[in-house]
Structure 1
Amino acid sequence: MLVVQVWLATRLTFALLAVWLAVQGRRSLESVVVQWDVAHFLLIANEGYANPQEMAFFPGLPLLLRGAAELGLSPVLAGCVLALVCSLVAAFALRRLYGQWAAIAWLLAPTAIFTAVPYTEALFCAAAFWAWERATQRRWGAAAALAALACTLRVSGLFLIGALVILALAQAWDARRATSARARREGGLGVRLAWLVLPAAVIAAYITYLYGLTGSWTAWFSAQEAGWQRGFHWPWEALANHWEVLWRPTPDHPEWVWVFRAEMVAWLVGLAVTVVCLARRRVAEAAWVGVQVLAFALSYWLMSVTRALLLWFPLWGLLGDALSQRRPGRVGVAAAWIAGLVAWAAQIVWAWLYLTGRWSS
């Protein structure tokens, strides 16, 4: 299967690059992989939320890493294996939703390195993509359970719940015009919304847990503001702040300005996807992307948007549609190969940024 082949090729590329950097720098392979947020997840796994700033991270992944350590396994290695497996699981979900080209496009995403290391992206995408697939098939019990799992991993689960609510409303509207026995068996809007109480309860449980630790209902937001300058700003303020740094290179960190520019491009891509989905009357998918586009624009500047691209399954569905309609013959095949090689090269650059400890969103 082509999806599995692309998954193997891209993940092998990441592994070889990590090994090469470890050998070149005379470092352990684990030290190459443990960059940025991985250190936070490991600290939470070891010490819990002793530091209030760590409350910005949801407990799902740290709990899994803690479990691996309790079993005598390396939490870093376990996290990598889990990410690799979940990236394939997420790709299969995209294949079910939109076809193999959507899955391949996702596997070739420039920031795919975050689906091969102990970050939450691969795990969240596996749960969220399959939750969406199950919901579109009107299997709301399974969709709710998978969405609940996604909600243990990152705050994006809250946006997933909102998008699923809109999808439930759309399905209920369609069911009003259906008279088949199957439509009656699927239950009404109330049943669908009742299932979504489960993932909502996961978010509520985490907020309540943090309240028990800090006495504040806004502990998560406060941690985001203290550690990553993600306090509330109006969109025009955030865009103005971001625009200013696009043209201000930092001599000691020349990659910063390019990553900031990539964040802006990613944000504009999200805006475009939202508009296209609305034009095609895919309101629930537009809501899933659009609310995140808005959330990123309510911070001090745009940050981590390039990683969020991995979560936006409507984007990969649109790209999959475009790829499946490519021109047949030698021209179409050549264009597909060129596009794939360009994407693969971008992956290598981004992986190099991450594995060498440079800022990579």
Structure 2
Amino acid sequence: MSVMSPRSPAKTPPAPPLLPALPRAGRRYLRLGTEDRDVLWLYLLTRAALWSIAYGARWLFPADAGTHDPGPVLAPFERWDWGHFLNVARDGYFPDGRGPWDAEWDNREAFFPGFPLVLRAVHTVVPHWTAAGLLISFVAGGIAVLALARIARLYLPDEGAGQRTVQLLLISPCAVFLAAGYSESLFLALALAAWLAAHRRNWPVAATLAALATTVRISGLFLAAALALHFVLTARTRAHWRPLPWLALPALPAALYAWYLHAYTGDWMAWKHAQERGWYRHFHAPWETWNTTWDSAFDQVLATGYAYMLQAELLAMAVGLALAVLLVRRRRWPEALYVGLSLWALGTSYWYQSIPRATLLWWPLWITLAAWTLRSPRFRTAYYCLATPMSTLFALTFLTGRWTG
């Protein structure tokens, strides 16, 4: 059986009826089996490992080497994008009439409102903002790994395929971002649940979840495109085509956000322009972006910390391109479209940014790696020996405030 090919119909249970059986089917899919519980146990263990690294980082790598106070216990997670999410959740996008017309503006409108809205809601119950953000990622991450395990079982016949796929995700180099108060866990929870619903031909639920994912990250639009292609490729009868209008739903949150920003700034492209001002995401040809990133990473034009992270960006892009080629060869067109759109969006800026983090959202990558590790013990050993220390290194890099140099 080829990698990333779904099981034959004879080996999988038939899809539930479209509408009449949804309540009972929903209850069945919410039940946790033995493998689901094993997945959650693995998830808890890896969370404990990351929190122990965060604890050690406070004591061993303080900003002031001579300090006797390690600082607040949650301080290691208050890094980089967390500040933008916090500002939006606490103060809104344009507090006190401030905005992109101010010289010291932080370009917070570059971040979609889904995560800040959830953060603000959870904060009404959990008064500490950072704790509220970590709780969101913790709960969403648990949902995401359960959905990922179930998706993996659709593609791989191997025993333990779901647990192995989740394991590879949770020890991946950038797994620390699934534990931090960032949007990756929340997006994955919604996107993977949407993909699972699409495989069960429950298109209203899939479209609704994809729309919610779009409120969290622009990648929700890439997911929506993949879902639409999956719909077209799998629709066989007139009844199958009836849910087609639902596929327009994921575009609504992005349109509403653009309208909201326009109302305050007069700019329909305010989100894109914030990305350009704050993160140099001006359009460049893909080969120009690669050359700029390569030169900055290896020509000693930047400090070593920045150069190292740009080297990681190059490696992540290479992995993404290889994955896209493999998906095309396997004729996994929807997944190839999803990964391809992500690579295009991330690979056409001034230089590469956030591609290692984006690998967390490429679930076909973790399913493919799971297939290889299940069928090749040597590959499994090699992957674990390389990925585990890299994951620890990246976690320390983030938790000590050195992620961007």
Is the Cα contact below 8 Å between 2:327 and 2:335 reproduced in 1?
yes
Residue from 134, 138, 144 that aligns with 1:80: 134
Deviations 1:65-116 (A, max 9, x none): 2223333521211111221222221111111111322222111111000000
- Matches of 2:285 and 2:243 in 1, distance apart? 34
Of 341, 351, 362, the residue aligned with 1:291 is: 341
Corresponding position of 2:226:
163
Say which SS state the counterpart of residue 198 (structure 2) adopts: helix
Structure 1 residue 234, shift from structure 2 partner: 1.3
Please name the residue that 2:284 is paired with.
233
Q: Which amino acid aligns with 2:132?
A: A
Given residue 153 of structure 1, which amino acid in structure 2 is its aligned partner? V
| Runs of at least 5 residues in structure 1 that lack an aligned partner in the other structure | 177-183, 327-331
Residue 56 in 1 paired to residue 92 in 2?
no
Which one of 318, 323, 329 corresponds to residue 268 of structure 1? Answer: 318
Does the 8 Å contact 1:127/1:149 carry over to 2? yes
Query: Could you tell me which of 124, 129, 135 is aligned with 1:70?
Result: 124
Q: Which residue is 1:109 aligned to?
A: 172
Report the CA distance shift for 1:336/1:275 in structure 2 as closer, same or farther (over 3 A). Answer: closer
Contact 2:89 2:116 in 1 (8 A): yes
Q: Say whether residues 1:127 and 2:190 are aligned partners.
A: yes
- Which one of 368, 381, 386 corresponds to residue 318 of structure 1? 368
- 2:82 paired with 1:38: yes
| Counterpart check, 1:188 vs 2:240 | yes
Provide TM-score, normalisation by structure 1.
0.90
Structure 2 CA distance for aligned equivalents of residues 203 and 218 of structure 1: 11
Q: What letter matches 1:56 in structure 2?
A: A
Query: Do structure 1's residue 210 and structure 2's residue 254 form an aligned pair?
Result: no
**Other structure's SS at 2:118 match:** helix
Could you tell which deviates more after superposition, 216-225 or 273-282?
A: 273-282
Change (3 A) 1:209 1:314: same
Measure, in 2, the Cα distance between the counterparts of 1:137 and 1:242: 41
Unpaired runs of 5+ residues, structure 2, are 1-34, 63-69, 101-106, 153-160
User: After TM superposition, what 4+ stretches of structure 1 lie above 6 angstroms from structure 2?
Assistant: none
Task: Give the secondary-structure state (helix, strand or coil) at the position aligned to 1:233.
Answer: coil
Instruction: Measure, in 2, the Cα distance between the counterparts of 1:343 and 1:281.
Output: 28
Moved more, 2-11 or 219-228: 2-11
Q: Partner amino acid for 1:4?
A: L
The answer to whether structure 1 residue 223 and structure 2 residue 249 are counterparts is: no
Partner Cα separation in structure 2 for residue 338 and residue 201 of structure 1: 44
2:216 maps to which residue? 153
Task: Write the deviation string for residues 94-149 of structure 1: whole angstroms up to 9, x where unpaired.
Answer: 11111322222111111000000110001101110110111011111111111111
Task: Specify which of 45, 52, 66 is matched with residue 16 of structure 1.
Answer: 52
Distance 1:4 1:165 in 2: 31
Name the counterpart of 1:92. Answer: 146
2:67 corresponds in structure 1 to none
Question: If the length of structure 2 is used for normalisation, what is the TM-score?
Answer: 0.80
Distance in 2 of aligned mates of 1:338 and 1:298: 32
Deviation at 1:336, TM superposition (A): 3.8
Identify which of 123, 128, 144 aligns with 2:207: 144
Deviation of 1:22 (Å): 2.5
Q: Shift of residue 5 of structure 1?
A: 3.5
Give 1:337 shift: 5.3
Specify which of 306, 314, 326 is matched with residue 356 of structure 2.
306
For 1:340-351, list aligned pairs within 5 A.
Answer: 340-351=384-395
- Secondary structure of the 2:243 match is helix
Letter in 2 for 1:77: A
Cα distance in 2 for residues equivalent to 1:337 and 1:3: 20
State the Cα RMSD in Å: 1.9
Q: How many residues align?
A: 342
